[in-house]
Every structure is written in structure tokens, then in C-alpha cells.
Amino acid sequence: MRKSSVSILAVALLSGACSLAPSLDPVKSPVSAKFPGNTGGEVSAHIAWQKFFTDPRLRKLVETALANNRDLRVAALNVEQSRAQYAISRSELFPTINGFATGQRKQGLGNPSSSDLMRTDSYDVSVGLVSYELDLFGRVRSLNSAALESYFGSDAARVGAQISLVAEVANQYLAERALDEQIALSQQTFDGMNAAYDLMKQRFDTGTVSELDLSSMEIQRQTAKADLATFRQRSREINNSLVFLAGGSLPASLPNGRSLDEVVVAEVKAGVSSDLLRRRPDIRETEHRLRAANANIGAARAAFFPSVALTASGGTSSRELADLFTNGTGSWMFSPDVTVPIFTGGRNKANLETAEIRKNIEIARYERSIQTGFREVADSLAARSGLAERISATEGLVAAQQKRTDLATARYNKGVDSYFEVLTATLDLFNVRQRLIQLRLARAINGVNLYKALGGGW
């Protein structure tokens, strides 16, 4: 009898576990195979961020942020939480076996008419299988697959958080470098205005220039002073942002950085759009969510079929502890429990419909993530081409404005033109040089954003 029960239990544990989850057909990419306006590049987007950033100061800041940033730490802990949830779900695939040991002693009157006390002892040791569900229709395995895909999705989200953090640190640092150049340019302009004002004040005192000329010069001097204060304020704010992203104070021994007219980031190749499916973590995250939703359909379908739970135990019991393990004291119990859904008020059907709708939602999200990635790359490529032309033209404009300023200064020194010609040329030169700094900043940030859009570095 015991042998046949054990055989039944073994067959039950090894039986079926067929999955009712539907097959997941590949989702067709809703974008073109090639990026529009792909202007090439020098290196692959697979390049590690340590090599993508050529500025040593920036590399040190990124390294510090990856080690200390709290948002990234939360993302990593979310992965650990998902892994633990998967381990909990996976444990449902295996039976739970517990050991029990009890001892009991009772004492009372043996006969109501007698005052004699009677003591009875009982001892029991057993090992039991605690209500294990036979996964005949794959419900537990489907839930386990969904938990596994959620774990993979959280890990992809962690990688996405890393890429976003690296890009944010780089963009803030590049903005800081641009502000440093703007501060230097503004300081140079302000110093020039001060010198010009002092010279004009001397001429005003001698009656050579009018008070209107002196007032106009004072306006330009104060304007340059205000611009300088504004750039310094922005620089302090950017520094605060870098401290926040780095997760604490910045390293004391940071190496010197590069200027924006030098190469601070590598120029990556875009490749083909299908590369995004392998590299971009947000696309991989939505893909895992889609797989999880598909697995949940299998669990919802399994709810329409009977479920079988097993409870079994075997052990030994006796009235004397010394006789607990002697022949004739053994006991066993085997109890299968079959539950057949007959009427659920439409709950199972509604759960299945919900699971199928969620799958369709995840398909739409997956397609949208592909479209988003394609657009971000295409926009960055278009901007890269346009920025290169604009920077080249602006560099030529700076050279022309510099020549105009030199000529205006020479003519003023010879008394041919008024100082307003010099002032106008100087302000125009200042504005075009500021524009060149902004364009170089935009070019560097565009390189970082393209690298991020391609899912590079991880």
C-alpha cells in the first residue's frame, strides 16, 4: 500500500506541466532599416564610455557618479528585489517538505470514584509534503516565467539608468566647460570696456567727447558686467548639479579638462536600426515586459482547468519514547485535493481578457520604444550634419568680425571714425564668439545624445 502511494506521488510530481501560454510571434519593426541622413562616424557605438569620452576630467566625474549616485543605487536595488521575487516564484515549482516532532504528556484522574492519578504520554515524528500544487497546465510555470522576464526587465532598466546618468553627467560637464569659456570671454570684454570707459572719461573731462558718448559707454560696460555675473551664477548652479549627480563632493584631484574646440567625445557610427533592438535598454525592457504579459496569459488560461494539490506525510508514533522507532509504530497519510472551477461569476474569463489586453498594450509599447529610439538617433544624425556646417560658417564669421573690429579700432585711432564704430564692432564680435561657444557645446552634447540614443557603452 505504501509503495503504491509513493509511486502515485512520483508519477504526479513528474507529470505534465504543459504551458498554455500562446506562442509569441516576432514583432515587426515599425521603422526603416536605415537611418535617414546617416553621415557615418569614426567608431562603433559599442565602444565603452571610458574610450568614448576623451576628456580625462569628464571620465573621472563619470566614474565617481557611477560609484555614488543614489538613483543608480536604487535602480540596482530594484534589480535585486526583482531577483528575490523571481526566487520566490521559482520556489513554487518545488514541493515544500517539513519535519514535525511532537511530545505530549497528560495527567488526570483514572477513575472518577478513585483519587489515583493517571499519566499518559504520546510521541510523534513525521515528514510531510505540504499542499503541493501539481502544475499540470503550467499555471505556476507561467507565473515563474513572468517573474523571470520582470527580473530581466528591471536589469535592463538599471542599464538604462546607467546610460542616462553617464549622459547627464557629460552634458552638465560640457555646459560647465562652455560657461568657463563664456566667463573668460565676458571678463575679457568687461576689461576692455573698463579700459575704453576710462579713456573716454579722460576725453570727456577735456571736452573731446560728449556726455551722451560717455553714458553710452557706461551702459555697455554695465551690460558686460551683468553678463559676467549671470555666467558665474550659472556656473555655480552647474557645479551643484554635478555634485548631486556624483552623489557627494567632487574629487579633489580632478585632472584638467579640455576646451570645446578640442575633441571631448568620439564620433560614433549609427549603423542600422536593428542594432537598437540589441543595444537600447529601454527597448529590451519593454520586450521583457511583453514576454511577461504573454506568460501571464498562460496562467490565466490554466485557471479554467482543474488544479490538483497534494498533501502527504509519513512518520512514526508511540506512547513510549523508547519505542518511537520500533516496528509497528509507522504511519502515513496521502491526500490529493482536486479543485474544478464550475462557476466563478466570469472572473476567470475577465482575467484572461485582461491578460490578453495587457499583452496588446505591451506590444504597442514595444513598437513605440523602437520608434522613439529610431527618431532620437535620426534627429541626432540630422543635427550632427547641420551643426558641422553652422560651426564652420560661424568660425568664418568670427574671423570676419575680428578683422572688422581691428579695422574700426585703427580708424578710430587715426580719427577717421567715431568710437561707436569700434563699440558696435566689439559687441558684434562678442555676440558671434558667444554663438560659436554655444554651437560647439551643442555639437558635443549632440555626440553624447547620439551615443545614448544608440544604447552605447553597455
Chain segment 373-422, per-residue pLDDT in tens? 999 999 999 898 889 899 999 999 999 999 999 999 898 888 788 777 88
Residue 406: inside a domain: yes
pLDDT, residue 112, reads: 59
Contact in structure between 317 and 125 (CB atoms under 8 Å) = yes
Which residue would you say has higher pLDDT here, 94 or 395? 395
pLDDT at 9 over 60: no
pLDDT, residue 116, reads: 60
* Torsion angles phi and psi, residue 22, rounded to 5: -70, 155
Residue 332: inside a domain: no
pLDDT at 7 over 50: no
Averaging pLDDT over each range in 23-37, 82-96, 229-243, 318-332, which range is the top one? 229-243
In angstroms, the CA 33 to CA 27 distance is: 14
Span 15-38, mean pLDDT? 76
Contact in structure between 429 and 398 (CB atoms under 8 Å) = yes
- Give the CATH number for residue 162: 1.20.1600.10
pLDDT at 2 over 60: no
Span 415-434, mean pLDDT? 87
In angstroms, the CA 240 to CA 87 distance is: 41
pLDDT, residue 153, reads: 94
pLDDT > 70 in the chain, percent: 88
Q: What is the pLDDT of residues 134-176, one digit of tens each?
A: 888 888 899 899 999 999 999 999 999 999 999 999 999 999 9
Kindly report the average pLDDT of the chain as a whole number: 85
Domain span at residue 354 reads 32-93+136-302+346-453
pLDDT at 185 over 90: yes
pLDDT, residue 91, reads: 84
Q: What is the pLDDT of residues 98-131, one digit of tens each?
A: 777 776 767 655 565 555 666 777 767 777 767 7
- Entry pTM: 0.83
pLDDT at 217 over 60: yes
In angstroms, the CA 82 to CA 78 distance is: 6
Residue 200: inside a domain: yes
Nearest CA to 458 among 242, 157, 73? 157
Residue 352: inside a domain: yes
Which of 210-219, 241-250, 355-364 comes out lowest in average pLDDT? 210-219
Q: Would you call 443 exposed, middle or buried from its count of C-beta atoms within 10 A (0-12, 13-18, 19+)? A: buried
C-alpha cell at 422: 569700434
In angstroms, the CA 386 to CA 363 distance is: 35
Residue 140: inside a domain: yes
H or E, element range at 240: helix 211-246
Q: What is the pLDDT of residues 248-282, one digit of tens each?
A: 888 888 899 899 988 899 988 888 888 888 889 99
Span 311-332, mean pLDDT? 69
Which of 160-174, 234-248, 312-326, 438-452 comes out lowest in average pLDDT? 312-326
Residue 259: inside a domain: yes
Nearest CA to 172 among 441, 456, 451, 455? 441
pLDDT, residue 429, reads: 93
pLDDT at 70 over 70: yes
Residue 9: inside a domain: no
pLDDT at 58 over 50: yes
pLDDT, residue 149, reads: 93
Which residue would you say has higher pLDDT here, 6 or 296? 296
Q: What is the pLDDT of residues 287-300, one digit of tens each?
A: 999 999 999 999 89
In angstroms, the CA 437 to CA 394 distance is: 10
In angstroms, the CA 93 to CA 253 distance is: 54
Number of domains in the chain: 1
Residue 122: inside a domain: no
pLDDT at 234 over 80: yes
